[in-house]
Structure 1
Amino acid sequence: MKYKIEGAPLPVVICTLSPGESMITERGSMSWMTPNMKMETTSNGGVGKAIGRIFSGEGLFQNKYTSEGTEGTIAFASSFPGSIKVIEITPANGLIVQKSGFLASETGVNLSVYFQKKLGAGFFGGEGFIMQKLSGRGIAFIEIDGYAMEYDLSPGESIIVDTGYLAAMSETCTMEIKSVPGIKNMLFGGEGIFNTIVRGPGKIILQTLPISAVANSLRYYLAKS
């Protein structure tokens, strides 16, 4: 597979597949393709994995696209202004991504639900409890809302992230939720009551324009209209 990413800040990844090569994507992610690309809708791993994908914010089924006869082209566009990141998934390099962060991948990549071990990450972290796990082997493309900032955390090193700004992290990272210190800070600080703390070792990808923050900003103006 060959690919190129164009069109920032409204990016699209355009993939060129050799005859017989395939890609998987969530329902509705394909933007355009050549006529020789054959689509097959599949549960991709059975009923258990399909149900798990629903919990992680994806669809029950996935679409598999295969180039038949000759070289084929297929494109996947981001659903929100931002970035498309290319991730090399290996058995030693899995990735945890936000809900609906998965865009497309080679067929060797497995998509499953990922539950945080600490329940507080789900009840108070918003995006933290149920995420997606990419494992297996192959190239994967993920959507980032806004610009992508990457940090490599050493063992024990941590960073505090506001809810929604964590786009992805290595499966070696851990995440927990802690309350903002001080009653006055909680009530009048404007940053919410809880913070997400991500601890290394591993890589994290932060996004500068989470769609949840955009929705909150628009809510004030929509209420006045």
Structure 2
Amino acid sequence: MPIFTVTGEIDPFLHVHLRKNERIFCESGAMVMMEMGLHVKGKMRGGLGRALLRRMANEESFFQQEIEAVNSDGDCLLSPALPGSIQILDVDSNCAYTLSDGSFVAAESTVELHSRLNSLGGSLFGGTGGFIIMEARGRGKLAVSGFGSLFVLDVTPGQDVVIDNNHAVAWSSNLHYEIGMPQSGGGFLSGLVNSVTSGEGLVIRFSGQGKVVICSRNRALFQTQTASSSSS
């Protein structure tokens, strides 16, 4: 099977070693370098319908790159669009992962990205994919990225975790999650005021058993600040 390795500490590469006839798929434009034995082509993976849903759901490209070791074994280097770390996850029949907007980097060909309906709260608010979200199923390696450094949290029963909406990268699909405002000890109005005055927007409360990948940087805030600086 393809060997996935994260190489480098600051804005790392995803290094993938492929043996002959093995292949992976990755986000369009992710390939930085590949050896001569490998071939790359654009592919509308899963057909027109799935490609359209993927584009609507997760800010991913309509076409993805497929890299295959056609002539011999070979290595390739991939890189996410935004600066930040890469996390390699294991997908299997007992562990699917839900992906936030723009977090997908690459996966083995035995992993499939499926679309499913989001919760009402996730549909209306934040960067969790809108009404349709993407889920990685199957079996194999999945690489995701986030803006800044990444950290993997283990959620256990009775120990709910609250995460700022803009810092969630991917999470175990079996986790229950709700989107709302940070707790402030008061009612709805108090929570709304606290959300504005504290600078914290919406949060996601995860419960159950599973993992959540979070990133250190807020992409939405960074883009807003960058736009403000450019216009001033």
Compute the TM-score of the two structures, normalised by the length of structure 2. 0.87
RMSD (Å) for aligned C-alpha atoms: 1.9
Q: Which residue of 2 aligns with 1:51?
A: 52
Aligned residue for 1:49, secondary structure, equals helix
Instruction: Return the alpha-carbon distance in structure 1 between the equivalents of residues 159 and 117 of structure 2.
Output: 22
Alignment match, 1:4: 5
Q: Are 1:188 and 2:197 counterparts?
A: yes
Distance 1:17 1:116 in 2: 35
Structure 2: give runs of 5+ residues left out of the alignment: 183-187
Shift of 1:198: 1.9
Query: 2:42 maps to what in 1?
Result: 41
1:138 corresponds to: 140
- CA displacement at 1:19 relative to structure 2: 0.9
* TM-score, structure 1 as length reference: 0.89
Per-residue Cα deviation, 1:39-86 (whole angstroms, up to 9, x for no partner): 233222222211211112112222221112221111101222221111
Q: How does 1:1-225 map to 2 (within 5 A)?
A: 1-56=2-57, 57-117=59-119, 119-127=120-128, 129=130, 130-180=132-182, 181=188, 182=190, 183-192=192-201, 194-224=202-232
Higher strand share: 1
Q: Percent identity?
A: 23
Whichever residue aligns with residue 213 of structure 1, its letter is: L
List, as ranges, runs of 4+ consecutive aligned residues in structure 1 with deviation greater than 4 Å. none
Return closer, same or farther for 1:41/1:78 CA change in 2, 3 Å cut-off. Answer: closer
Please say which of residues 35-44 and 180-189 is displaced more in the overlay.
180-189
Q: Which amino acid is the alignment partner of residue 124 of structure 2?
A: F
The DSSP-based 3-state class of the residue aligned with 1:32 is strand
Q: Choose between structure 1 and 2: higher helix proportion.
A: 2
Size of the aligned set, in residue pairs, is 222
| Distance in 2 (alpha carbons) for counterparts of 1:190 and 1:141 | 31
| Distance in 1 between residues matched to 2:196 and 2:29, nearest whole Å | 41
| Structure 1: tracts of 5 or more residues without a match | none
CA distance in 1, matches of 2:14, 2:86: 7
